[in-house]
Structure 1
Amino acid sequence: MDPRLLKLSDVLLTYSLKIKKGDKLLISGGESTLPLIKAVYKRAIELGAYPQVDIGVEDLTEILLKYGSEDQITYTPESLKRAFETVDAVLTIWGDKNTRFLTNVDASKMKLRSRGRRELMEIFHERMAKGELRWCGTQFPTHANAQEASMSLSEYEDFVYGAGFIDEDDPVAKWMNIRDEQQKICDFLNTKETLRIVSKDTDITMSIKGRKWINCCGEENFPDGEVFTSPIEDSVNGHIRFSFPGIYAGREIEDIYLEFKDGKVVNAKAAKGEDLLLELLETDEGAKFLGEVAVGTNYGIQKFTKNMLFDEKIGGTVHLAIGRGFPEAGGQNVSSIHWDMLCDMKEEGKIFADGELIYEKGQFLIK
């Protein structure tokens, strides 16, 4: 076993999830992530926790979406609901055997799948907001994900573990330093009422009054590196063109352009995958509103890998998400989807808070 897996498992359980003796832990991942699942399971046992495992199989998901009825696709097992209602912590491990296995699935079936998981997501986010549930999502490097990133497996492993500072002597100390630096940004933004983002073919404003900025320092995503909030739902106005392809269930949507009026998407275009974009916006009423605005702060990640866990953290970018807002940030938008799209800010990007320039060309100007 790669010794970095053991080190990552310890960081995930002791720092990110703060697992203690007696905690009930749900470990969720695909069949390709079994090496990390086993390492985490072993560490959880050593810590005195009660781990249980939920393994997803890509072929079975494809069968369901291609041949299942509407009722079957939207069905969520009672056992899974019960787990989300009772466990103390959830670790989601991403890693694909085939990143394109849903490419030929009808977009309407994808919408049904998202709608069917709405109740589960509501349980999850309600318990998270109350502090009853801890969650972290991480990546296990697989051949498929390495290929998407245009890397060999060994190169991708180095990229994944490097992004989380697992190669350092004390990765936890590194993340605690990041937490302290990012908290200064959050404290500053928490005093502001309006935000304006300007970049290439982009000029969008929103109210952030009374909303809380969240410091992402390796506790809910790993690796991490962003600050985010949920904007006032009906305050978003303007337009934005996203610099990178949007990735949804392995499908790419290129050159996405959105226009907002009073919070709602009123015009949406894409050079490729526009049909899926429009289907996603029709998932439910909340899918047309923003649930998140965020700034990536991990300057150790500079390569776009078609994996939003890493891409949304790229230092010098912002990302917006349509759909579900974050209750912990004060977000009230309800939707069964939450989908991030990424905009590069390193060349022409500026961010203004209450009319003051606070960010330019990929860097905060806050002292």
Structure 2
Amino acid sequence: MDERITEHAETLVDWSARIEAGDDIVIDVAPGAHDLAVAVAAELGERGANLVTTYASDEIDRAYLRAHDDEFDADPAHERALYENADVVLSLGGGRNTSAMADVPGHIRTAYATAREGIREARMDTDWVSTVHPTRALAQQAGMSHEAYIDFVYDAVLRDWEALAEEMRGLKALLDDGSEVRIVGEGTDITMSIESRTAVNSTASVADDSHNLPSGEVFTAPHGTEGEITFDVPMTIRGRRVRDVRLTFNDGAVVDYDAAGNVDVVGELLDTDDGARRLGELGIGMNRGIDRPTDSILFDEKMHGTVHLALGRAYDACLPDGETGNDSAVHVDLITDMGEDSRLEIDGDVIQRSGLFRWEEGFRA
């Protein structure tokens, strides 16, 4: 076994999930993540944790959803109980076909997601962490050889997380002290309020309310969004490829949209519920180990020199006590490359220009 698989498992168990003896753990294992699951199980055994394993197959989900009508029971008790009684949920991604769900009708997906809101909340109330094992399917989706993709994944995952956390802490402070963010670039001029919000220093550790490995972003929950933005990093949404998504916001909500491909997917997403037309997240990528888009949101949203906005649900960690923020059955990220002549401003001060932060060499004011 590649020793980096063991390092990945150790990082996931110790740095990311902070697992201790006696913790009740659910591991959700995709078909291609077997080797990582074996390594994680060994780490959990050494620490005296309690393990339940579930199987996460898009092909199984496809078969179930295509055979079902759109009348789903709300939050089946047997599944909800699993997560209500878990301390930690570890999701190990790595399927055999990244487009397995492409032909599941949108209204079925929406009905299923809506019926499972309570299960999703129970799962998110745990110290959950999502990661992936570098499979051939993911390499193909990224347009890379399997060997090159393996190196890419471990460059992103096996970072000096303490050093990166310290750098990101400075950006978090700027966002916490700020009132308004403006993003300007080709096809983009958008403002949003971050007043009274708390940014999350997403260090790939639940200790910082960070739940992805790899991570390397700072995010907050904006509101009052106005203007237009173009998301020029292609990505797959609901099994279909979209690119150059353009959204227009007025009074905090999307009032117009377009895309260069599969625009109907964007419409289906926006029609999920009222909250799907509003933003739940503004995230700023800072992981230098992620140097190219791979059509995987787990990696692409953390790519250095990018900004992403999520339609839908806001994370409670960003909100004042007692405030619920934007609520939705979805949380879907869209990414824009902060390329040449773009800029990110906080209260009128340029924090990032052309993909470089003001503390980085080469930044120009």
Shift of 1:76: 4.3
2:133 is the alignment partner of 1:134: no
Between the aligned partners of 1:185 and 1:58, the Cα distance in structure 2 is: 37
The code of the aligned residue for 1:213 comes to A
Alignment correspondent of 1:79: 78
Greater CA drift, 189-198 or 347-356:
347-356
Between the aligned partners of 1:3 and 1:76, the Cα distance in structure 2 is: 40
2:198 is the alignment partner of 1:190: no
3-state SS, counterpart of residue 128 of structure 2: strand
* CA RMSD, 1 decimal: 1.5
3-state SS, counterpart of residue 190 of structure 2: strand
Paired residues in the alignment total: 351
Q: Which runs of 5+ in 2 are unaligned?
A: 206-210, 361-365
3-state SS, counterpart of residue 271 of structure 1: coil
3-state SS, counterpart of residue 39 of structure 1: helix
2:34 is the alignment partner of 1:34: yes
Greater CA drift, 110-119 or 348-357:
110-119
The code of the aligned residue for 1:34 comes to H
The percentage of counterpart residues that share the same residue type is 35
3-state SS, counterpart of residue 293 of structure 1: strand
Conservation of the 8 A alpha-carbon contact between 2:101 and 2:238:
yes
Alignment correspondent of 2:257: 268
Shift of 1:366: 5.1
- Which of the numbers 308, 315, 323 marks the counterpart of 2:312? 323
3-state SS, counterpart of residue 302 of structure 1: coil
Alignment correspondent of 1:49: 49
The code of the aligned residue for 1:85 comes to E
2:91 is the alignment partner of 1:92: yes
Shift of 1:209: 0.6
Conservation of the 8 A alpha-carbon contact between 1:29 and 1:94:
yes
Provide the TM-score with structure 1 as the length reference: 0.92
Alignment correspondent of 2:353: 360
Question: Structure 1, residues 260-284: CA drift from partner, whole Å, max 9, x if none?
Answer: 0111110011121111110111111
Alignment correspondent of 2:240: 251
Greater CA drift, 241-250 or 208-217:
241-250
Shift of 1:300: 2.1
Between the aligned partners of 2:260 and 2:330, the Cα distance in structure 1 is: 22
The code of the aligned residue for 1:119 comes to G
Between the aligned partners of 1:272 and 1:116, the Cα distance in structure 2 is: 29
Q: Which runs of 5+ in 1 are unaligned?
A: 128-132, 166-170
Between the aligned partners of 1:236 and 1:78, the Cα distance in structure 2 is: 38
Conservation of the 8 A alpha-carbon contact between 1:84 and 1:123:
yes
3-state SS, counterpart of residue 304 of structure 2: coil
The code of the aligned residue for 1:79 comes to H
Where do 1:281-300 residues align within 5 Å? 281-300=270-289
2:229 is the alignment partner of 1:229: no
Between the aligned partners of 1:312 and 1:58, the Cα distance in structure 2 is: 22
Shift of 1:75: 5.2
Shift of 1:198: 0.6
Alignment correspondent of 2:105: 106
Between the aligned partners of 2:213 and 2:139, the Cα distance in structure 1 is: 17
Alignment correspondent of 2:201: 215
Conservation of the 8 A alpha-carbon contact between 1:121 and 1:336:
no
Conservation of the 8 A alpha-carbon contact between 2:179 and 2:347:
yes
Shift of 1:111: 1.7
Question: Structure 1, residues 189-233: CA drift from partner, whole Å, max 9, x if none?
Answer: 21111111111110010110110111111212111111100012x
3-state SS, counterpart of residue 318 of structure 1: strand
Greater CA drift, 75-84 or 254-263:
75-84
Between the aligned partners of 2:350 and 2:7, the Cα distance in structure 1 is: 41
- Which of the numbers 196, 199, 203 marks the counterpart of 2:185? 199
Shift of 1:110: 2.1
Conservation of the 8 A alpha-carbon contact between 1:24 and 1:49:
yes
- Which of the numbers 161, 178, 185 marks the counterpart of 2:164? 178
2:322 is the alignment partner of 1:333: no
Question: Structure 1, residues 108-163: CA drift from partner, whole Å, max 9, x if none?
Answer: 222223222222222334x3xxxxx3121111111111111111212111111111
3-state SS, counterpart of residue 298 of structure 1: coil
The code of the aligned residue for 1:347 comes to E
Alignment correspondent of 2:363: none
Shift of 1:107: 1.9
Between the aligned partners of 1:286 and 1:180, the Cα distance in structure 2 is: 33
Conservation of the 8 A alpha-carbon contact between 2:238 and 2:265:
no
Shift of 1:246: 3.3
The code of the aligned residue for 1:134 comes to D
Between the aligned partners of 2:58 and 2:358, the Cα distance in structure 1 is: 45
Conservation of the 8 A alpha-carbon contact between 1:28 and 1:90:
yes
The code of the aligned residue for 2:58 comes to E
Alignment correspondent of 2:208: none
Shift of 1:311: 0.5
Shift of 1:346: 2.2
Between the aligned partners of 2:80 and 2:122, the Cα distance in structure 1 is: 8
Alignment correspondent of 1:347: 340
Provide the TM-score with structure 2 as the length reference: 0.92
Between the aligned partners of 2:57 and 2:150, the Cα distance in structure 1 is: 22
User: Residues 366, 213 of structure 1: CA spacing in aligned structure 2 closer, same or farther, 3 A cutoff?
Assistant: farther
